[in-house]
Amino acid sequence: MKKIYLVLLVTLILGFVAGNKANGQPGCENCVAPWSCTTFTLTINCNGVEFPVEYTVCYFCSPTAPIVDAQITRIDGIPIGTNCYWIAKEAGERWILENGIELCGVLPCEVSVKTFRIYEPICADEIKNPNTNTFIVLLNNSCDWRCVSVWEWCWCSCDQNCDRPCCRRPNVIGCVHYQLLNRYRESNQECPEFQESENITRCKRFEIECDN
């Protein structure tokens, strides 16, 4: 019993101290308190070519329930003329899940599970940068229509008390367990797309998989 209380106490403390705030970064203007903001960069492989992509994510760790909401508000660095947006979006989603402890603290699978809800833009602004031949997907609150994925999440110690699928990889001592529960469109409305300038398209629709 004392061990369970200690685990819960550590979970509570980490939930308060975790989080990489990046207020002032592009895309963070969409994060309204009590939401926090973080940015990170990943190397994406698409069509055999690797390129860096920077992400901005707004997130909220519920203080009253084991629920984490995370919204991808900016994806910067996708090559123009490619179909790499979906791959970049999936990579950002995996980063959020694999780094959930950093954002909102740990919760051992032996105790309970958290629910992660990740919101990804279906309708957003496309801003091209001809100097780098890349484009940015940027959340626009006037056409904020999103795909929502719902995940079961917890930390597994990979011992006799926890044997989640992530433990079945070689040389794993402990791992983050996450499993997709549901995926749905928050809105089925059409995006009011319009060309503002040669390099900016507002409220463009991005084709992504958003089904169960």
Q: How many CA atoms lie within 13 A of 39 on its CB side?
A: 15
| Structure confidence by residue, pLDDT tens digits, 80-124 | 888 888 899 999 999 999 999 999 999 999 999 999 999 998 999
Distance (Å) of CA 35 to CA 5, 20, 99, 140, 146: 28, 12, 17, 17, 18
> pLDDT by residue (tens digit) across 2-15?
333 333 333 333 33
The predicted-structure confidence for 113-148, as pLDDT tens digits, reads as follows: 999 999 998 999 999 999 999 999 999 988 878 899
Prediction pTM value: 0.84
